[in-house]
Structure 1
Amino acid sequence: MKTNWNTKNINIRENSFLKLVDKIDKSNNKPTRYKGTIETMLLEFFGKTSKKKYIWKRATFKRLLIHAYKQKCYGLLRDYKSVEVLHNISSFGNQMVREIESWERKGFDKEEQLRSLIRHSFAIYETPVFLENTFFEFDKKFMLWYLQLGKGKSVKDLSQMPIHLTNKMAHEFKNTPNIFKPNEALRFAQALGFGASIKTAKVIGFSKLSNINESEEKFWETVVLFFAKETNVNAKDLDKILEFLTYKYRENKKFSMKNRTQRALIFQALEWEKNVYKAEIGEILNWETSGITPLNLEKNENGEKVVYKTVELLNSIALFDEGNAMHHCVADYDKDCKEGVSTIFSLQRVSENKLTERLVTIEVGLDEKKIIEAKAKFNEEPNEKSLQMIDLWVNNSQIKGSYDAVEYENYMNAVAIENANHVNSDEDFDTKARIVFWIIFFIIKAILLSR
């Protein structure tokens, strides 16, 4: 990312800046890289703007620089990214709806100055902010969409529109929140048009479906329609399914979404992913059990019998399944397990109806039989209940000097301190409340006695 920290204190004087702009504009510019000065910044952007082709673009860029200076937008003119936006605006200098020189600066924030200038230059009608954002990026097609909507063109008639939109979808597209990028907004609007909830439409919009391939759109439209009808779409599961569908469709163009269910697709996607993993590693590694006594504890929780247990994972696929369920990279530990460096246990909770919940992945170093690491989902720290189970397992197995026993003790100490602070804060609040009550009581009493 280019920075301009060493230009912040440069004073742009009228004569020097305007002369510099004029001099660079008239010179035969060679490709120049920005080196932290205003001169090299201008040389770079003028160097990207031909003197022979699209002359209006170069002239527009020069006018924007001069007018921004005259409007005292000094911070904007010192900032590389802001000048880059001016350069993007100049790419459409022959399609402006108002003269540059009629724009007036309001406020001192350089981003708002640029947004105001974009609206002034191109928008007669209200235009989505997410398309306004494209001038701060690089894709000229989406900037052109902003111009077209700003002049009153309909969404369905935008240039190079990659998907088919109904009237409802077009309406939703124009009203898409500015957190989306244009292609994400298209999928979001398309999903809403197919009847998806806002929540589901957001998941679809932010998914890999936003990587629109126009030549395959006929198929992917059916995928959007399929998930738009689902009430519970998980972002991570959706991306796994989309990878699977991409493979299946490109393998067989007759593949369709007919008679499919989300549950079946998740299962098929996981099996496909597992097969890809097997092909990548080339060999499934297996290893012997460490002989460490596992945990197997039956408890009664809220009237339900549950079992907490540790399961030793003894091959590459078992590690893959654990990592897939827990969203971390334990699958990479298969060589360490094969070589006897460490072994992996999965702490699990099995309910009365046999539903299994994976709680913590535990790595045990076999040299000293000590716990090296214990992580819950997404590499988060185990919760209090899980730490209690691990501590109980440690105390009843061959594991010694457990990392987790220390962590558990620290955790419980922290909880005790937090509770003590909470109690103290409650006591302070009660004391203050009593004082306020008696002050108000005596004030009211004094008023009544004075009557």
Structure 2
Amino acid sequence: MANRYKPLSHEAWQAEQAVIILAASRRLDWRRWPAARQVGYLCSFTGSLPVVEAHLGTGSVLAEFYRNCLHNRSYSEQQRCRKVLLALAYKRSELLWRPELSAALAALVQVYPQRCRELADWQPRSRNPFRQLESLVRHLFDQYGDLPTWVLNAWTANRLHDGINIADLTTHLGRGGALRTFHKLPVPLTRKLEHHLRQAPAGYTFLEALLYAQLAARNQLAWLGPVLDSRLGRRLSRDDEFYLRVVDFFAAAPMVDPNQFGPVCDWIHQKRRVGIGDEPAQPGFSLKGRSMAGVLAHTAKWHRQLVRARNNPDSRHPQETFASTWELLPVPNFTGGDKGQVRITQLGSYWELVEEGGALHHCVSSYLNSCQRGRCGIFSLTLNGVRTLTLEVLANRTIIQARGKYNRRLTDTEYVWVTRWAAEARLLVPKHLFAAAG
């Protein structure tokens, strides 16, 4: 049988339709239409995502809204989305069409049935789309006007699933529910912790707000910066209560450098979970009876072992460990300055981690397991070919650490380049990270 008579496979048919639709879409400029007509056009589509994107233009604003708000939604959800988007169009809201807010609007549509006020009664008081979003969330869900500012900020910062479902938490608190009774909390809360959690600064994630509350409850807020920079600030862990006692241990010691808190926590983690040298892991390890001088000496000794390991692999660091590589995070590297003298590059092997730690005298090589599991990526900033700064980026595209030689904070020059890279790569930057820049 001739090839022209063979039936097309479903995949080939989809590709053919996409080409036809793409050609037709080039003759249709929906960008010139009024917002309400664009909403109607967007909500008229069904079918596979590639075909719809061919209609709307791959990477276009409408395609982004379709992917987040309408794709794989039930009929009732699609109709609800149409209602909300049309209402925003009639309000001439700046929320349409901002691709960076499409995920937040999708979450808003999902919890829209739990609103306490009607969208028709909302009046935007600013042309800033982020302020409009905050105002809209307050209007729809904040019945008593006491939503914590960090919850509202999570909507505008697109951090709706950062350790907790912010949309569900918003509706729960908006109806007057207590934080400690929210059924999806990853940790139990006391009344005291809830009180301090509500007072956390606006730009904090849930994890940062929780650490703020835990330290405030212990009268240790002076240690918030070092704690946020340590492994406590990266993710919730069953060991958090233990490490909070490490904070008390540091606070009770006179004249101790707060920047040593993070390295000591890394040493303790290695000792409790992995083991150091020929010693097996010690899950029951405790600081009881230990002095601060002894703990710092053990931490420094472990660090020196990591540095020497590059040139002296032995039974504690088998050769296969040095050959370890992992899949890099989908975060672009950066080149800037005259003749590209500034570079930010992701490290992809254990050798590179050891070299980075040896050059800057810190313990970044201890991140081998986290890199292999895809929890984070380690980046090195070089100026004129010299390593000056190490950065940790979580899988959710948040920069959570920036450390130079001997764990120093970043300089003003490094701050400029890191913020420029973060803007280009669309990375989130917590406020505390650059608090001590310079």
TM over 0.5: yes
The reply on whether 1:237 has 2:236 as its aligned counterpart is no
Equivalent residue for 2:60? Answer: 37
Determine if contact 1:172/1:189 at 8 Å carries over to the other structure.
yes
Is residue 162 of structure 1 aligned with residue 186 of structure 2? yes
- Kindly indicate whether the alpha-carbon contact (under 8 Å) linking 2:81 and 2:109 is maintained by their aligned counterparts in 1: yes
CA distance in 1, matches of 2:212, 2:255: 16
Q: Deviations over 1:380-415 (max 9, x none)?
A: 79xxxxxxxxxxxxxxxxxxxxxxxxxxxxxxxxxx
CA distance in 1, matches of 2:174, 2:211: 22
Q: 1:60 and 2:110 equivalent?
A: no
Q: Report the Cα offset of residue 212 of structure 1.
A: 3.8
CA 1:201–1:320: 2 relative to 1, 3 Å: closer
From 32, 38, 42, give the equivalent of 1:21: 42
- 2 CA distance for matches of 1:63 and 1:234? 56
1:110 CA displacement? 0.7
CA distance in 2, matches of 1:320, 1:41: 40
Identity of aligned residues (%): 18
CA distance in 2, matches of 1:165, 1:130: 17
1:215 aligns with 2:215: no
Tell me how far apart the structure 2 counterparts of residues 11 and 128 of structure 1 sit (CA, whole Å): 39
**What letter is aligned with 1:146?**
T
Aligned to 1:137: 159
Q: Is the 8 A contact 2:62 2:97 kept in 1?
A: no
Structure 1 209/148 Cα, relative in aligned 2: closer, same or farther at 3 Å? same
Partner of 1:113: 132
* Number of the residue aligned with 2:371: none
Contact 1:162 1:212 in 2 (8 A): no
- Displacement of 1:22 in angstroms is 3.5
Q: 1:213–1:16: structure 2 CA closer, same or farther, 3 Å change rule?
A: closer
How much does 1:215 deviate? 3.4
Aligned residues of 1:201 and 1:228 also touching (Cα < 8 A): no
Corresponding letter in the other structure for 1:223: V
Match of 1:152?
176
**Counterpart pick for 2:122 among 103, 106, 109:** 103
Tell whether 2:129 aligns with 1:92.
no
Q: How does 1:13-412 map to 2 (within 5 A)?
A: 13-14=34-35, 16-24=37-45, 27-30=46-49, 35-51=58-74, 55=76, 57-73=77-93, 75-125=94-144, 126-135=146-155, 136-139=158-161, 141-196=165-220, 198-227=221-250, 229=252, 234=257, 236-250=259-273, 251-282=281-312, 323-324=360-361
Q: CA deviation at 1:213?
A: 3.7
Distance 2:60 2:410 in 1: 44
Please state how far the C-alpha of 1:77 moved relative to its aligned partner: 1.1
- Once the two structures are TM-superposed, the CA of residue 277 in structure 1 deviates from its matched residue by 2.9
The structure-2 alpha-carbon separation of the partners of 1:155 and 1:260, relative to structure 1 and needing over 3 Å to count, comes to: farther
Counterpart Cα distance in 2 of 1:227 and 1:204: 11
* Native 8 Å contact 2:70 2:78 kept in 1: no
Q: Per-residue deviation at 1:121?
A: 1.8
Q: Distance in 2 between matches of 1:232 and 1:137?
A: 38
In the TM superposition, what is the alpha-carbon distance from 1:137 to its structure 2 partner?
Answer: 2.2
Structure 2 Cα separation of the partners of residues 379 and 182 of structure 1: 25
SS across alignment from 2:96: helix
Distance 1:103 1:209 in 2: 40
C-alpha distance after superposition, 1:307-326 (max 9, x if no partner) = xxxxxxxxxx9x9788428x
Q: 1:247 to 1:218 in 2, by over 3 A?
A: same
8 Å Cα contact 2:193/2:214 also seen in 1: yes
How far the C-alpha of 1:207 sits from its partner, in A, is 3.1
User: Are the equivalent residues in 2 in contact too, given 1:103–1:117 (CA < 8 A)?
Assistant: yes
- Offset from partner CA, 1:203-252 (integer Å, 9 cap, x none): 32443213344433443343344345567665532221111121122122
Residue ranges of structure 2 left out of the alignment (5+ in a row):
1-29, 274-280, 315-353, 366-386, 388-404, 413-438
Residue 261 of structure 1 deviates from its aligned partner by: 3.8
For residue 183 of structure 1, report the CA deviation from its aligned partner.
0.4
Query: Are the structure 2 counterparts of residues 181 and 254 from structure 1 closer, same or farther at C-alpha, using a change threshold of 3 Å?
Result: same
- In 2, the alpha carbon distance for the partners of 1:93 and 1:379 equals 43
Comparing 60-69 with 263-272, greater Cα deviation is found at 263-272
Deviation at 1:115, TM superposition (A): 0.6
Highest RCO, 1 vs 2 (Cα 8 Å, sep ≥ 6): 2
Q: Over residues 10-66 of structure 1, what are the superposed CA-to-partner deviations in whole Å (9 max), with x where a residue is unaligned?
A: 444156324313313xx23536667343432333234534226xx4x4333222211
Whether contact under 8 Å (2:194, 2:213) holds in the other structure is yes
Amino acid at match of 2:136: L
Structure 1 contact 185–205 (Cα < 8 Å) conserved: no
Kindly tell me: are residues 320 and 181 of structure 1, through their superposed partners in 2, closer, same or farther at Cα, counting changes over 3 Å? Answer: closer
Residues 406-438 of structure 1 deviation map (CA, whole Å, 9 limit, x = unaligned):
xxxxxxxxxxxxxxxxxxxxxxxxxxxxxxxxx
| RMSD between aligned residues | 3.8
In structure 1, how many angstroms separate the alpha carbons of the residues matched to 2:125 and 2:313? 66
* One-letter amino acid of the structure 2 residue matched with residue 264 of structure 1: G
